Structure 1
Amino acid sequence: MNIGEKIRSLRVAKLMTQSELAGNKITRNMLSCIENGSAQPSLSTVVYIAGRLNVPVGFLLAEEGDEIVYQKMNSLANIKRAYKAGDLAGCRSLCLSACPEPDDEIRLLLATCDAGIACEAFRHGKLRLCCRYFDEALRYAGECLYPLPQITAQAAVYFGYMERRISPMLSSDVLDADRSAVLRDEEPFALYARALDALDEGDDGPAVAFLAGTEVGSRFYAEHLRARCEMAKGGYRDAMPILLRMLNGEAPLDEVGLYAVLCDLEICCRETEDFKGAYRYTNEKVQLLEQLLKEN
């Protein structure tokens, strides 16, 4: 894209007429000639036009390969502002528009934003969306020069949980299972998920350790692990009140948490020969699963 094409593209994007851009320093006819390539502007004219368009002079003068650098520089302040404000979707959008061919700095931001968006989608029960964003995060992380093992570890935890506890359909197209097996995520959800896996294998050690060091903000995980510890000992009647408190508590459960509780209530009812209750929770679980597996 030559300098005239850049000027015209920016003017159109900013919804400016030629007369508005020309102002009182150059004529509309001169601007038209610059835009169609029949005239080359002087340096003072380039400086004037850049000021009117609110872009760096260097962007207009840059060789074609350098344009991306100037686009990134021009957008970096907004990108950083969105990221610091926690607007991950906004930050991701700015990165993609500013850098269609991202460098390592932008790949790092995109991978981080995608992983955060994936976690948010998980919490809102949008599991297909969660899978897509985690896979995108893994792709950017894999292309990035900077090592990003935390992205792989986090994705492995969420994909493992979804595949084992919700549906094998919720799998990754990108995750290297052998490589991710050696990485560990120490966030509360990861500790909770590993404790559930250990309980399935007859080991209550991780669950006991989690309950001994429960942090604020992981109350659901703690209550659910208490119920699962009782179930692991065959105490289905003792687990029932815990699960029902969770189900009927003041704070509504998110869809994933609700599904976990319904699954366990079904098991407890069946094991205590409350077949009416088991039938009820089975139906509620199946209906919720249909919602969780919807395309988003």
Structure 2
Amino acid sequence: MDRAELGKIIKDARIAKKMTQSEVVGTFITRNMLSQIESGVAVPSIKTLEYLSRKLDISIQMLSPQNKSDMVTAVSGNFESIRQAKKCYKEGKFDEAAELVKPYLDENSEFFDEACAIYTMSALAYAGKNDADPQTACSYAREALRYSEKGFYACREWKVEAICLIERLS
């Protein structure tokens, strides 16, 4: 089963139960993450699949990959997005790197820690560019501040840098 098929099953089950995305997610995941799962952009963790299975009253088997190779393909796709984001960062394409990891900024994402680090570093680098639009740069600096203390790779220096950038750009 691919991402799109999984997303369709989840969306169809939600609609059949006449539930909004907000009603389904509660406080377990964000509505944005559910939207990305339903549209096939993000692949949910096993924990998220178990939660959705209970909430939508459908069998976990309906949401599970048909075989191990499907799961490997899904994880590989996520890993490839992270790898591509790192490549963009190294090439100075900071806004692209930040966009690539956005689907993984949900705390239940398998790659949450890596996404927070890459997003924060990319947002700070973009905000610090001389040619960046000041309003957009300030927005990126605020986002960097938001994620600077999250995840395994949280870094106090990033927080300080974000605060300094916000003050300079405001």
User: CA deviation digits over 1:44-96, x for unaligned, max 9?
Assistant: xx9xxxxxxxxx63246xxxxxx6x5542232332222122121111111112
In structure 1, distance between residues paired with 2:162 and 2:3: 44
Aligned counterpart for 1:88 among listed residues 87, 94, 98: 94
In structure 1, distance between residues paired with 2:4 and 2:100: 25
| 2:152 counterpart letter in structure 1 | L
- SS of 1:133's partner is helix
Q: Provide closer, same or farther for how the CA distance between residues 142 and 2 of structure 1 changes in structure 2, counting only shifts above 3 A.
A: same
The answer to whether the 8 Å contact 2:148/2:154 transfers is: yes
The answer to whether the 8 Å contact 2:145/2:163 transfers is: no
In structure 2, distance between residues paired with 1:104 and 1:42: 28
The answer to whether the 8 Å contact 2:149/2:159 transfers is: no
- SS of 1:151's partner is helix
| 1:96 counterpart letter in structure 2 | K
| 1:152 counterpart letter in structure 2 | K
User: Is the radius of gyration larger for structure 1 or structure 2?
Assistant: 1
Alignment of 1:144-159 (within 5 A): 144-159=151-166
Alignment of 1:242-253 (within 5 A): none
| 1:79 counterpart letter in structure 2 | A
The answer to whether the 8 Å contact 2:120/2:144 transfers is: yes
| 1:155 counterpart letter in structure 2 | A
The answer to whether the 8 Å contact 2:128/2:137 transfers is: yes
Q: Provide closer, same or farther for how the CA distance between residues 144 and 126 of structure 1 changes in structure 2, counting only shifts above 3 A.
A: same
Q: Could you state the TM-score of these two structures normalised by the residue count of structure 1?
A: 0.32
Aligned to 1:5: 5
Aligned counterpart for 1:140 among listed residues 147, 154, 158: 147
| Deviation at residue 147 of structure 1 after TM alignment | 3.5
Extract structure 1 runs of 4+ deviating beyond 6 A: 1-4
In structure 1, distance between residues paired with 2:160 and 2:70: 43
In structure 2, distance between residues paired with 1:73 and 1:3: 14
In structure 1, distance between residues paired with 2:126 and 2:66: 47
In structure 2, distance between residues paired with 1:3 and 1:81: 24
What is the RMSD of the two structures over their aligned residues, measured on CA atoms?
3.9
Q: Which ranges of structure 1 fall in alignment gaps of 5 or more residues?
A: 14-40, 47-55, 61-66, 163-169, 171-296
| Deviation at residue 106 of structure 1 after TM alignment | 1.0
Aligned to 2:131: 124
Q: Provide closer, same or farther for how the CA distance between residues 135 and 57 of structure 1 changes in structure 2, counting only shifts above 3 A.
A: same
| 1:82 counterpart letter in structure 2 | C
In structure 2, distance between residues paired with 1:3 and 1:132: 31
The answer to whether the 8 Å contact 2:142/2:166 transfers is: no
- The percentage of counterpart residues that share the same residue type is 19
Q: Provide closer, same or farther for how the CA distance between residues 70 and 161 of structure 1 changes in structure 2, counting only shifts above 3 A.
A: same
Alignment of 1:1-296 (within 5 A): 5-6=5-6, 57-59=70-72, 69-97=75-103, 99=104, 101=106, 103-120=112-129, 123-124=130-131, 126-162=133-169, 170=170
Q: Which ranges of structure 2 fall in alignment gaps of 5 or more residues?
A: 10-38, 41-64
- SS of 1:143's partner is coil
Relative contact order, higher structure (CA 8 A, sep 6+): 2
Number of aligned residues: 115
| 2:128 counterpart letter in structure 1 | C
| 2:98 counterpart letter in structure 1 | R
- SS of 2:159's partner is helix
| Deviation at residue 132 of structure 1 after TM alignment | 1.1
